[in-house]
Structure 1
Amino acid sequence: MQLSVTNSPFSEEQATQINQLLSTLTPEQQVWLSGYLTANQQLGTAVVAPEAATANATTASTSIGTNDTHEITKPRAITVLYGSETGNAQSLAEVLDARLTENGYTVTLSSMDAFKTKDLKKVEDLFIVSATHGEGDPPDNAITFHEFIHSRKAPKLSGVRYSVLSLGDESYEFFCQTGKDFDARLKELGGESLVERVDCDLDYDEPADKWMNDILHALSGPQDNRDVVSESHTSVQSAKEKKYSKSNPYEAEVLENINLNGRGSNKEVRHVELLLDNYGEGFEPGDCLAILPENDPEIVTQLIEVLNFDAQAVVTVDTNGTEVTLEDALTSHVEITKLTKPLIQKLAELVDDSTLSTKLAEDGWVQNYIEGRDLVDFFTDFAVTQLQPQALVDVLRKLPAREYSIASSYKANPDEVHLTVCAVRYEAHNRERKGVCSIQFAERVQPGDTVKMYLKKNPNFKFPFDEDKKVIMIGPGTGVAPFRSYLEEREELDLKGNTWLFFGEQHFTTDFLYQTDWQGWLDEGYLSKIDLAFSRDTDEKVYVQHRIEENSATFYQWLEEGAAIYVCGDEKYMAKDVHEAIRRVVEKEGHLSEADAETYLTQLKTEKRYQRDVY
């Protein structure tokens, strides 16, 4: 049969070329070409050997012509879903997608809020990467999927193979809870665990890499002896090493480090400017800067003395066998100022104090003990005689990077990046306590010094750059940082109007962070409206949530006109209070029930019109 535009999907030119080619082929060559095209369609872009293609063609022709049972097995569809608050889970899901694709698999990658829940019943192989937010809650973009899969509407998943990678922080009581929830529910629905769930602490690169390797091995099956992992060029580490990262930090010179608060303030907020000389990568408002901090030398010395260790003893600090002195390890490599339940359990195996075993058996003792204490407290409270420096370093987790919202615009200052850092100081258990990174900036870093850092994208906190789009920004304290970045960029782009800022602090005279910036943008029209709440300037404390409700009608009008809400700052109190205030506004002005108002806000989140960067 001659191909034409009427009996095939080809253009006239293509049909002519194919007819000319087919007329020159032997029957064997035609069979081979048929098999090649069939196999290529099923296996992606993998090159198929002639003999394999011929075999495929023979099988295909046999099954089509005779209804023989030897049919070509269709590859299972792979779905990768992620629930991400700050972008870590998303970046890992993207690496998994790349590795699977490199190995010839067809993958659907999606955030959980973009995934159509009705398609869950069509899933064959499902891999979930999810962070846990706050006290065991799913990230904002995972809430709807989390609720669906735990509802009666969730379909039975017999025949579905799955695995879960959980991201969390061991210092929280409900460590990796969202990932655990997904894992348990998928099993309840009849799914088959292809690879055991992996729970990752803050230093997640190695366990995440192993999880991906295990998935590739499991998918290849016992009949396939290829080392699929070695064929993949993309790993968590290699993906990060293409740019600056925790394993490959950039050393930035400090240009400015000034106190933003006035004399007499209860707070010390530092404005830090770092030089990005030939960094090679830009950033957007809403992105973060990760700082690799150092522990306070005073705490390091106290810990070494209480253990009676030699500060110059040599220890290894990673799987590559990197050797450093104990003093260096405790300063730059491991966390020593925060205790976690898993760490206490590991330390219990290293100390000689029988009272610790008794305490561990008491319900709730560990959670109460670790609050506000560090390693110096622990080794002061519990006796140890046989502990060796290497054994201690081995059980401590890596010193995590500290992430700060960027407070400047890349378009306005391409060679700089600005941070807004609040110095953390408090007293607990008869000792003064200090924030690791914030006090490094407040007390030990001067202009001309360098700090190790890398940029970190935040895909879930992205601003619009449409002059007609209304934007409501709620950022008390240092939560105002990304809004400074946003307005600085709007000024650079000359986008005026439709912006409303809610800012709060303790005192107007000493704590109005970046006051001249806001006033200038207000005067020039880049900022349309600003509402302030200084809690200690009035007899009755007033916070940003009160200002929101005071402006109830206008706030709701902005929402109805398509405004997007951005909230940045404290998660434990502020973000919850602000959310409740916004819900009450929607109830009142929209004449809705509490449940319907909550549904309204959920829809805003789905539409990316309610975004939060809370911590």
Structure 2
Amino acid sequence: MDRSITVLFGSETGNAQDFAETLTRSLERLHFKVHLSSLDDYDLKNLLSVRLLIIFCSTTGQGEFPKNSRKFWKFMLKRKLPNDLLNHLYFTTFGLGDSSYPKFNWAVKKLHNRILQLGGVEFSKRAESDEQSSQGADGYYIEFQNLLLKNLNEKFPLPLGQTPVPDDVKLPPKFQISIDLKKPKRKTDTLIKEIALTRNDPNLRIGTVEKNIRITSDDHFQDVRHFSILDKTQQLNYQPGDTISLFPTNDPKEVDSLLEIQGWTEIADRRILIEEPYPLIDGSFIKTPTLRSLFTHHLDLRSIPRRSFFALLYHFASDEREREKLKEFSSYKDPEELYNYANRPRRSILETIQEFFSVKIPLEYILDLFPLIKPRLFSIASSPNSSKVELTIAVVQYKTMIRRIRKGLCTSWLKNLKEGDEIIFRIDRNNLKLPKPEVPIIMIAPGTGIAPMRSLIHQRVFDFNANKNQLYLFLGNRYHNKDFLYGEEWKELEKKERLTLFTAFSRENGGYVQDQLYLQSELITELLTHGNAVIYICGSSGKMPNQVRMTFETILEETKGLSKNQAKQYLLELEANNRYLQETW
């Protein structure tokens, strides 16, 4: 009996990939032969022969697919595909979403329905998780996995005499890694910035830091940076709403700490050999990595450890009490255990390894255990420019409930970059469907959500010379004199009647952007009804997007006399016509 299963994932931040990898290990313990891949790295010809397919897919932005799944979805949309193309296929899907987004789990819904249209047969009930729920995605996943494994065991029972691999038996490593002892040690990797530039992905560019300046006051709790990169070697091509990917590195001191704890100092500067298949590294490997440079540039030490991390780590603890504790964190029996240890205090992977003294990680398992450093995406804050791109970046630094200071991997790296430093970057097209210059646009931008708005405003005012008073900006900050981001720019444009500005400084006069929206109810209704205006919302996910949406519903109810359901339907129609755009993170 063929016991092959294909597990595919579309993942933006790594959550969908982590669940896919967790399920893969469970399937391998049941002696299934699993092929794991991102959707876009999957050879589409194999769809004609694969029998069992499981897909994990998150949703980003306005119901969009993650970047590593858009090629796959484009293929699935081809009109010439026959309706019985996948009638040999048994499949199920798991969606990762956030109900604060209007198009909640939109991507996985579309993908699931399209596979059904092409003849695929659902063999186990699909599931959609909600990051905003009290149980998080984990609770949804374990129910999905339990039902899935039950259905698989019924349809594809183990051959007679074969038993599942016990959880206490570790599976062999997926990646073959070894130390090259034939060649001499490289010099200790002191040239970290230069090594980072050796990636050979043709989509990457090498730019020069032009500016890296703080734009919040020195006494403000948050350091927000205006950051610009020059690239005069190739013409840049981007539009408002597009993003840039940056490739951060770990702090050398933290890398040294890990190498010392694990007893790898003597081999840290020897070249490592990795056999195919390679791990799926976005941006490709740096050239000829050593153990030190692999940890510096590719393996994430600051990320919060996931359940799959503990499921492998506990095998490497020699102390029985530590082993049992690590095993508890890998279990779904009490999800609060892991949450209270890792997520609530925001513990990092490095701190976890430091706290469990008996853990000694075999070198051949490091690519299975440590997550890869993913590129960080930032909204572009400049009008399209052929040689320069500007960003607005909040440096992540805070104190946890256990009074430890946490720093974001990318923003702490970026903060220390100096003018003239060279860095790797990539422009990522967002394909945001923005209106024509003559169409009014209502922009809601708390905090660093201002970045894509600034790009749009600059393009309309300076490039398109758009009509006066077609731009309405609702800007939310804490203090007028501390974090009014690009405030002088907005005041100048307001004087010239190129922008209508509404501000909410929450720590001075109270109120938030939604309060300013409500105060302008008549204007909002006029713009939406007679001006065909577009609503564009950017900023942190969570309460803000829902509260802004509820405010728009209230405005429509009070000014147009709509019922609550009619107001909701009105906004849904705006979304369908690309007149209600939301990007939150």
Q: TM-score, normalised by structure 2?
A: 0.67
For residue 502 of structure 1, what is the amino acid of its counterpart?
F
| Pairwise CA distance, 1:175 | 7.0
| Pairwise CA distance, 1:255 | 0.6
3-state SS of 1:520 partner:
helix
For residue 411 of structure 2, what is the amino acid of its counterpart?
S
3-state SS of 2:538 partner:
strand
**CA distance change for structure 1 residues 176 and 95 in 2, over 3 Å: closer, same or farther?**
farther
2:422 pairs with 1:425: no
| Aligned counterpart in structure 1 of residue 523 of structure 2, from 540, 547, 554 | 554
| Pairwise CA distance, 1:535 | 1.1
Residue deviations 1:246-271, cap 9 Å, x none? 67421111011111112321211100
| Aligned counterpart in structure 1 of residue 313 of structure 2, from 327, 336, 347 | 347
Q: CA RMSD in A?
A: 4.4
The number of equivalent residue pairs is: 453
3-state SS of 1:271 partner:
strand
Q: Provide the residue aligned with 2:182 in structure 1.
A: none
Q: Highest Rg: 1 or 2?
A: 1
Residue deviations 1:96-154, cap 9 Å, x none? 645998xxx9249xxxxxxxxxxxxx78649999995654788728649949999xxx9
| Aligned counterpart in structure 2 of residue 357 of structure 1, from 306, 317, 324 | 324
Q: Provide the residue aligned with 2:217 in structure 1.
A: 262
Distance 2:298 2:128 in 1: 21
| Aligned counterpart in structure 1 of residue 227 of structure 2, from 244, 258, 272 | 272
Q: Provide the residue aligned with 1:537 in structure 2.
A: 508
**CA distance change for structure 1 residues 555 and 148 in 2, over 3 Å: closer, same or farther?**
farther
Matches for 1:98-113 after TM superposition, within 5 Å = 106-107=80-81
Residue deviations 1:21-51, cap 9 Å, x none? xxxxxxxxxxxxxxxxxxxxxxxxxxxxxxx
Residue deviations 1:374-418, cap 9 Å, x none? 1222113323354233422332121001000000011xx321000
2:61 pairs with 1:92: no
| Pairwise CA distance, 1:170 | 11
| Aligned counterpart in structure 1 of residue 473 of structure 2, from 501, 508, 523 | 501
3-state SS of 2:537 partner:
strand
Q: Is the 8 A contact 2:58 2:108 kept in 1?
A: no
Distance 1:416 1:272 in 2: 11
Distance 2:440 2:200 in 1: 35
Residue deviations 1:271-294, cap 9 Å, x none? 011012233441100000011111
Extract unaligned runs of 5+ from structure 2: 1-56, 156-173, 175-198, 279-284
| Aligned counterpart in structure 2 of residue 297 of structure 1, from 249, 252, 263 | 252
Q: Is the 8 A contact 2:65 2:107 kept in 1?
A: no
Worse overlay, 486-495 or 303-312: 303-312
Residue deviations 1:567-601, cap 9 Å, x none? 11101232222222222222322323333322221
Q: TM-score, normalised by structure 1?
A: 0.64
**CA distance change for structure 1 residues 176 and 600 in 2, over 3 Å: closer, same or farther?**
farther
For residue 391 of structure 1, what is the amino acid of its counterpart?
Y
Q: Provide the residue aligned with 1:525 in structure 2.
A: 497
**CA distance change for structure 1 residues 166 and 403 in 2, over 3 Å: closer, same or farther?**
farther
Matches for 1:146-545 after TM superposition, within 5 Å = 146=109, 159-160=119-120, 173-174=136-137, 248-310=203-265, 311-312=268-269, 314-316=271-273, 319=276, 323-338=288-303, 339-355=305-321, 356-358=323-325, 359-360=328-329, 361=331, 363-364=334-335, 365-371=337-343, 372-410=346-384, 413-428=385-400, 429-442=402-415, 444-459=416-431, 461-467=432-438, 469-491=439-461, 492-496=463-467, 497-527=469-499, 529-538=500-509, 541-545=510-514
| Pairwise CA distance, 1:88 | 4.8
Q: Is the 8 A contact 2:242 2:429 kept in 1?
A: yes
Q: Is the 8 A contact 1:246 1:453 kept in 2?
A: no
Q: Is the 8 A contact 1:317 1:393 kept in 2?
A: no
Q: Is the 8 A contact 1:407 1:484 kept in 2?
A: yes
Distance 2:58 2:353 in 1: 38
Distance 1:377 1:607 in 2: 48
For residue 570 of structure 1, what is the amino acid of its counterpart?
S
Distance 2:348 2:486 in 1: 35
**CA distance change for structure 1 residues 336 and 246 in 2, over 3 Å: closer, same or farther?**
farther
Q: Is the 8 A contact 1:261 1:511 kept in 2?
A: yes
Distance 2:575 2:561 in 1: 20
**CA distance change for structure 1 residues 251 and 600 in 2, over 3 Å: closer, same or farther?**
same
**CA distance change for structure 1 residues 92 and 580 in 2, over 3 Å: closer, same or farther?**
same
Distance 1:574 1:91 in 2: 28
Distance 1:474 1:597 in 2: 19
Q: Percent identity?
A: 24
Q: Is the 8 A contact 1:85 1:139 kept in 2?
A: no
For residue 251 of structure 1, what is the amino acid of its counterpart?
I
Distance 1:555 1:138 in 2: 21
**CA distance change for structure 1 residues 254 and 130 in 2, over 3 Å: closer, same or farther?**
farther
Q: Provide the residue aligned with 1:589 in structure 2.
A: 559
**CA distance change for structure 1 residues 435 and 132 in 2, over 3 Å: closer, same or farther?**
farther
Q: Provide the residue aligned with 2:281 in structure 1.
A: none
For residue 229 of structure 2, what is the amino acid of its counterpart?
L
Distance 2:584 2:504 in 1: 19
Distance 2:202 2:301 in 1: 20
3-state SS of 1:472 partner:
strand
Residue deviations 1:309-335, cap 9 Å, x none? 313354456846675222211211011
**CA distance change for structure 1 residues 479 and 486 in 2, over 3 Å: closer, same or farther?**
same
Distance 1:380 1:581 in 2: 48
2:543 pairs with 1:573: yes
Residue deviations 1:343-389, cap 9 Å, x none? 22222233234334343355021122221011222113323354233
**CA distance change for structure 1 residues 598 and 168 in 2, over 3 Å: closer, same or farther?**
closer
For residue 402 of structure 1, what is the amino acid of its counterpart?
R
Q: Is the 8 A contact 1:471 1:498 kept in 2?
A: yes
Distance 2:556 2:275 in 1: 52
Q: Provide the residue aligned with 1:140 in structure 2.
A: 103
Q: Is the 8 A contact 2:212 2:418 kept in 1?
A: yes
3-state SS of 1:512 partner:
coil
Distance 1:155 1:92 in 2: 15
For residue 548 of structure 1, what is the amino acid of its counterpart?
L
